[in-house]
Structure 1
Amino acid sequence: MSRRLSRRALSLCVMLIGVLSCALIRASSAAHAHADPPRPRAAERGTTGLVQESATARLQADGSLSDVVGLSRTNVWAVGQEDVWEAWQNRSVITHWDGGTWTEIGIRNDASSAGHLRSVAAASPREIWAVGDGHDGLPYVVRGDGSVFDRVSVPQLGSGDWLGGVASVPRKTVAVGSRAEFDEVRRRTVQKALIATVTSKGWTAVKGDVQGTLYGVALAGRTDGWAVGDTGTEPVIMRLSGSTWKPVDVPAVTGGFLRDVHIDGPKRAVAVGGVYHDGGKIAPLVLTWNGRHWSRSAVPQRHAELYGITGDGKGHYWASGFDPGHPGEAFLLRSGDSGWRVVRGETSPKPRTVRLQAVTHVGDLTLAVGHVVDANDRYTDVVERFQPGKPGTADPTPQPTPAAR
């Protein structure tokens, strides 16, 4: 999952940066500037070839999807934002894929519909959580049962708090981000890692001693999980063991940042992000946990930004992101027994930029979401589906369904 750029206060500017280096993901809203869905194509050749197909969840103009979670091939939830350029009009989006149609679901208890939802998680088909920022300057927390969603009040969170990632298992949900704190020594405000947890006993919000921001979180159970982010200059990883979160040793990567993490168990986890270099270029960063320590993995891409990571529980992973060398093509990294390799989407005759902000894997379907930016800087949400088969065998392009509000 989860997420999932620059930083909360200027979420729109952050979206321009695109690397979530402080927390975002692009969005869209009002006029239909949807990309033309290209024909399915073989994304990879050979006996394990994948078929790729582009579609859209049909958000309003200037819309983007930030995160996605799949419970099955016919039960997928995605969140994001519409009207990305209107700071006081942009609206959060929750949309559901039932295997044939995307349907938007409204949020009760909030007329403004927030500003942006950044992350989504599901403990079960009847318990879905999403987090982001609201127009009121407070962290935005949403809970749904699959048919209705409500904004949840969390008294432990305030205006100096920000949430960028969420993970959920039965009887426990964890949201991560940062809390602003004034540093008396340096006489300036700094960000400290923030972890908010809800169980049957209610909410707790703990500011860690770690300076920086957490963007992604994953749980393997109520007592085992990982959270990732950065200090502004290097990656940060924290581990949940029992009921306590503590920072762990991370490979020294100057300029590195992490945006998402996927966990397969006590001996297998993968975190992804990037590394800033001189000239503004970003190299992909993949860190792997083997049960004893985190190590850096080699990837076949010199420059790329990675935002999302998912896996199948069998040692295979998919990372979504953006390749500046091929900005018009959907970009993923896929790993297996032979290491990481690149998976690309269809090319376009029109100038455009495709960023895949998140990815999920259910059954034999890999589904990534994000946005396309055209030559006029108009945003369109995009859904990229990859699955084994021959070109032309993928599910038909979904048709829009009126939003349920």
Structure 2
Amino acid sequence: MTRRLVRRAVPLCVLVVGLLAAHFLRATSVAHAHVVPARASVKSSPSPDRDQTSGRGPSAAALSETTSVLADGEVAESGPTGRLQPDGSLSDVAGLSPSDVWAVGQQSAWDFWRNRGVVTHWDGVSWVEVPLRGDSTGAGHLRSVAAVSSGEIWAVGDGHDGLPYVARGSKDGLTRVGVPQLRPGDWLGGVAASASRVVAVGTRDGRAFMAASGGSAKGAAWTTDGGPEGSLYGVALAGRSDGWAVGDTGTRPLVMRLTADGWKEWDVPEIDRGFLRDVYAEGRKGAIAIGGVYDADGSIMPLVLTWNGRRWTREDPPERHAELYGVTGDGAGTFWISGYDPAHAARGFVLRYDGSRWATLRGQVPSKDRTVRLQAVAHVAGHTIAVGHVLDDADHYSDLVERVGPATRDE
């Protein structure tokens, strides 16, 4: 996670199920990774999605045979990725090496009862769908993926049995992991993983919710924690016992910090009607969180907060009415933020920020009417890869990968 305001066509069954579960998953495009907060009213604020392991990523020419050569600094569109079935969308991406890139999402996005979670893997030559095992009911929308190593990939989302879906595996397949503490009505929006810990975040009974597993029993034994009123959509690990989770309380942004003593709510600037969707951590003294603020007319203004080791500070991005969905970094102070710009809806949209200067990067001008939403972004081996979907003039989804950065001679 609404992308095209005139086409906010959420199936009725999605709304009914959310209301019955006392957990309304905010009005949003059905294919979005991290849910967009719903605007409750002008007077009250809205109520509103990954730790990506940095690594070596696809070469500039490797992502697709149809990669376009664009001017330096523009977004190079690479076309469909996993060749998903009709109405497929990618929600998140993580990369480890030029031949080890992962993306998750869903197919049949408009059919709430029959949508199918998808994991796809780039092996350096092509995208190959990876099977999901160990569950007869199957996965629905997969929202988040984290890559620790080629043999340890984590994904979270919805299960068709009414429980959140948690899976672990490799390119040979992912197997559903049992988390005994999960129950109907729980919702998971983000996952982060390291060699020592895996953390999934979301909401339970209208309050922030965290599930974690670590140590020698990682993936087998789990603990859960509750937070203040609100929901969490993104999570990042900065160290063995250090990390961030972000979301909203229903009226303002919510930030939780993981320390050796557990999770605690952290002070952030007071921003009425603000929310956070994703967070990227460079370490204990550096992080960035992105989201939005509802304007009085219902439009969304970008929200970017940075952490310097002492406090969170609000930044001033150049675009005033863009929606920000995902964030990543290179570990050296440069960040990329993916999203959707309604003023240029047909083109891919990414912001680049180095701590002092902003750059707006846009994709190609298409020949047909469409809407492009880049739901997530990862930086690997000097290249930045964004994933999402294209919505055409007939309201059909197609999964999409775009590469951000300068063209190279071998393209």
What is the TM-score of this pair, normalised by structure 1? 0.85
- Counterpart position of 2:35: 20
- Counterpart position of 1:317: 335
Superposition map of 1:154-233 within 5 A: 154-180=179-205, 191-199=206-214, 200-201=216-217, 202-208=221-227, 210-233=228-251
Match of 1:125 among 134, 146, 150: 150
State the distance in 2 between where 1:277 and 1:16 align.
Answer: 23
State the distance in 2 between where 1:248 and 1:337 align.
Answer: 22
| Identical positions, percent | 54
Superposition map of 1:47-126 within 5 A: 49=73, 52-57=76-81, 58-126=83-151
Q: Secondary structure at the residue paired with 1:14?
A: coil
After superposition, the Cα gap between the structure-2 partners of 1:11 and 1:113, relative to the gap in structure 1 and judged at 3 Å, is: farther
State the distance in 2 between where 1:307 and 1:212 align.
Answer: 18
- Counterpart position of 1:276: 294
- Counterpart position of 1:356: 374
Q: Secondary structure at the residue paired with 1:140?
A: strand
Consecutive unaligned residues in structure 1, runs of 5 or more: 25-35, 181-190, 395-405
State the distance in 2 between where 1:393 and 1:321 align.
Answer: 28
After superposition, the Cα gap between the structure-2 partners of 1:138 and 1:254, relative to the gap in structure 1 and judged at 3 Å, is: same
Query: Could you give the per-residue CA deviations for residues 210-256 of structure 1, whole angstroms, max 9, x where no partner exists?
Result: 11000000002220100000012210001011141101111111111
State the distance in 1 between where 2:134 and 2:355 align.
Answer: 48
Superposition map of 1:378-397 within 5 A: 378-390=396-408, 393-394=410-411
Q: How many pairs align?
A: 363
Task: Give the CA deviation at 1:112.
Answer: 3.5
- Counterpart position of 1:245: 263
Q: AA paired with 1:385?
A: R
Task: Give the CA deviation at 1:106.
Answer: 1.0
Task: Give the CA deviation at 1:120.
Answer: 0.4
State the distance in 2 between where 1:337 and 1:140 align.
Answer: 36
Consecutive unaligned residues in structure 2, runs of 5 or more: 3-9, 19-23, 38-47, 50-64
Task: Give the CA deviation at 1:39.
Answer: 3.2
After superposition, the Cα gap between the structure-2 partners of 1:379 and 1:11, relative to the gap in structure 1 and judged at 3 Å, is: farther
State the distance in 2 between where 1:12 and 1:234 align.
Answer: 15
- Counterpart position of 2:52: none
Q: Does the aligned pair in 2 maintain the 1:169–1:219 contact within 8 Å? A: yes
Q: Does the aligned pair in 1 maintain the 2:31–2:91 contact within 8 Å? A: no
Q: Secondary structure at the residue paired with 2:29?
A: helix
